[in-house]
Every structure is written in structure tokens, then in C-alpha cells.
A = this chain, B = another copy of it.
Amino acid sequence: MTELARKALLPAGLQDVLPGTAAREAEIREKLMASLAHAGYDRVKTPLVEFEESLLEGAAPELSTQTFRLMDPESRRMMGVRSDMTPQVGRIAATRLVDAPRPLRLSYSGDVLRIKGSHLRPERQFAQVGAELIGVSSAAADTEIVLLALEALDRINVPFVSVDLNLPTLPVRLFDAFGVKGDEREALIEALERRDVAALKGIDGKVTDVLVALLEAAGPAKTALPKLKKLELPLGASDELYRLIDVAERVLASGLDAALTIDPVEMAGFRYQTGVSFTLFAKNVRGEIGRGGRYRAGGTAGEAATGMSLYMDSILRGLPDGDAISRVYLPLGTPQREARQLRLDGHYTVAALEGAAEAKTEDGARIEARRMGCDFIYLGGQVMPLSA
């Protein structure tokens, strides 16, 4: 490895975001946050690290093994680096904002750090934008969060968004209802995760027929809804499925321009959801661009809540590049007041600098302007195209 390569080396899954991309990420992030703010979601900012117990309280057990720990020399207690922001927002709702009126609508953006990347998401640091709707357990709340995500993605013109509505708790509910335990349960979960109908059918039991019917019903909402409505499920499971159907019909009725699919037995990627959930996709982007769903804010005894997170890196991959910036070269001797006025007028300037490659003639200044990537030059009080 060369000295240059050695210095540039970052830990796996971590990266420098370079000019152009970093500005684009910030622009898109703030547009998404603005969309959430306009829908009544108030921005909060959570700390990068906090005490391990509070960080992991109410979080999925899986998150604990994904969280880096730090010793705090001040308190001599262990802290964790945030690997998800939803539990932190839940903590804020349950403590500092315990007296704020419900429904409580909060939004956030920030980077999280994970110990290990996944196959589809090798990044270990990634930026999220998210929203939480806390204190309401209704189908209307489930629907609001789905539509909130779609409206935000629409604002930044992500093309061809689709929503997959899921019910990750349904299989477990069915196993309980049919008394399926132990190895058999594990085998069924594995077959479901592989979407392996043949394997499901090879396992004996009443629950199998239901699971196969649910798997086979999955697909675009228009075809899935009639099939799902015909299914007869045990009490409890049936209620949950009808909630899913209710939310799907509300989303369809909203008139928002996105494809809606339903896959009631999809469980992958849901860690703490307790009800109607969803995954967001965009054409030409591998893997999901966001997900969300119902959970308890602040742990199993916490308030009813639903929320969603959007993944900035995936979203940026689904968007065309931003417009290139046109820059105006300011030759040596440009008065500071004129330079400031140009910037106030919206120009992006690049000032010639004594001590750098200096150009004392107009031709020299044009050459220097090109070298610095400018399209325009400021001459005689005018912004002129460089090609002229």
C-alpha cells in the first residue's frame, strides 16, 4: 500500500463524503426535514452518545450487539454510541416532553453508527431522516406516517416510489394461536423468510395452510386486498390483518402517487415493530430506501407510537445528481464590497488569491478561472461567461 492509500484508509463501512455529494446530501436532508416540519413534526436533536441503559431501554435486543460502547471517565459508567435514533426520540417523548400535548409529532435527522454492516447495507455509519407520531394507536395514525414518508419523498422527486405494507407480528400471532412452538416454529420462520412455499407445505399443521395463503396473497394492493379479505384467521390475528387492510385502503384513498403492495408475512428487517409496518422502495435502488411501523415509544410499557426512517444514502442513489454550481472567478483586485454583493445576489464566487497562482493580465485571469473550475469571470463590474 502506498503512503497515500494508507492515509486515505478508513474502517470498513465508513467514508468521506466529497464535494458535490456532501452538499447534495445536506440539501436533500433539509428538504425532507422541511416536508416533515410542514406536516407538524417538530425537529429534535439527540446526543451522539448516552448512557447504555437509557440508549438501549425499549430498543430491540438486537440493537445492543450493534452498539459501540465507550467508558465515560466523568461518571465511570458505560455509554453507547447511537445505532438508531428512534429509541432516543422515544426517551425524549417519555421524559422532557412528557407534558407536551398528544399526539406528539417529532422529527429528527442524524448519523448513526453500527458495529457491523449488513449484506445489503455495508455502511456502518449512515444518515437517517425520520419522524415519530406518539400517543395514538389508530389506523389513522398508521396511515399518516405512511403518507408522511411518501409526501416527503415526493417533495424531493424520488421517481417511482413503492410502499410494501407488512405485518411482522402476524406470523408470531398465528404460531401462538395454533400452538406452534420450538423447532417447528423456527422451521416455519426460516421458510417464510426464504418465501419458500414448497418448504412451508412440507411442514405439517393447520398454520401452514394459512401461511401459504398469506404468502400467495402478497402482491399489488389491488389484487392482494380481495384475497386477504377472504382469509379466515384466528381471533387476534384476524384483527391485525383487518387493521392492515384498513390502512391499505386509506393509503389508496389518499390519492398519493406511489405503488402499493401488501406482504403480510414479511418479517426481515423489523426489529421492534408491534403492528402495521412498511418498507419503502424506489426504482433502480437496491434494497429499501426507508421503513417504518408501529411500536411502543420508550419500551414495551411505553406509549403507542408509529414512525418511519428514511435512509439518506439509498435515497441519494435513487435521485439524479443535483444541478452543477456555476462559479464566478474574481480576479485580483476585485473590491471586497463588490465580491460580497455578488454573493448576496446569489453568485458562487472563487476569489483570486495573492500567493496562489497569480494572474496579473486578463488572459492570465481567464486561464486561472478555468483551472479553478469557473464558468464565469467578473470583469469591469460585469459577470461574463468565460467562453466569451
Question: Count of A residues near B, CB < 8 Å?
Answer: 102
A12-B75, A30-B30, A136-B355 in contact; A125/B327 too (CB < 8 A)? Answer: no
- Closest chain B residue to A337 by CB distance? B255
* A202 within 8 A of partner (CB): no
* A23 within 8 A of partner (CB): yes
* A141 within 8 A of partner (CB): yes
Is the Cβ of A91 less than 8 Å from the Cβ of B7? yes
**Chain B residues within 8 Å of A138, by CB:** 353-356
The smallest beta-carbon distance between A371 and chain B, in angstroms, is 5
Stretch at the interface among A93-101, A212-220, A224-232: A93-101
Interface of A is mostly: mixed
With the chains together, A64 CA to B343 CA distance in Å? Answer: 39
- Closest chain B residue to A97 by CB distance? B18
Is the Cβ of B40 less than 8 Å from the Cβ of A25? no
* A16 within 8 A of partner (CB): yes
Copies per complex of this chain:
2
A19-B106, A336-B254, A355-B138 in contact; A116/B11 too (CB < 8 A)? Answer: no
The smallest beta-carbon distance between A36 and chain B, in angstroms, is 10
Stretch at the interface among A66-74, A168-176, A272-280, A377-385: A66-74
With the chains together, A43 CA to B109 CA distance in Å? Answer: 18
Q: Which of A89-130 contact B (CB under 8 A)?
A: 91-92, 94-98, 101-103, 105-106, 108-109, 111, 113, 115-116, 125
Stretch at the interface among A49-57, A184-192, A282-290: A49-57
Q: Which of A319-336 contact B (CB under 8 A)?
A: 325, 327, 336
Q: Which of A2-29 contact B (CB under 8 A)?
A: 4, 7-20, 22-23, 25-26
* A79 within 8 A of partner (CB): yes
* A349 within 8 A of partner (CB): yes
Binding site for B on A (CB under 8 A): 4, 7-20, 22-23, 25-26, 30, 33, 35, 37-40, 42-51, 54, 57, 68-70, 72-75, 77, 79, 81, 88, 91-92, 94-98, 101-103, 105-106, 108-109, 111, 113, 115-116, 125, 135-141, 144, 147, 151, 253-256, 298, 325, 327, 336-337, 340, 343, 346-351, 353-356, 371-373
Apart from A14-B50, A22-B43, A40-B350: 20 A-B pairs, beta carbons within 8 A: A7-B54, A7-B298, A10-B47, A10-B51, A11-B47, A13-B74, A17-B45, A26-B33, A26-B43, A38-B343, A38-B346, A38-B348, A73-B115, A101-B373, A105-B350, A139-B355, A140-B354, A144-B353, A151-B340, A254-B336
8 pairs, CB–CB < 8 Å, chain A vs chain B: A12-B74, A16-B47, A17-B45, A22-B44, A26-B30, A40-B349, A68-B70, A73-B115
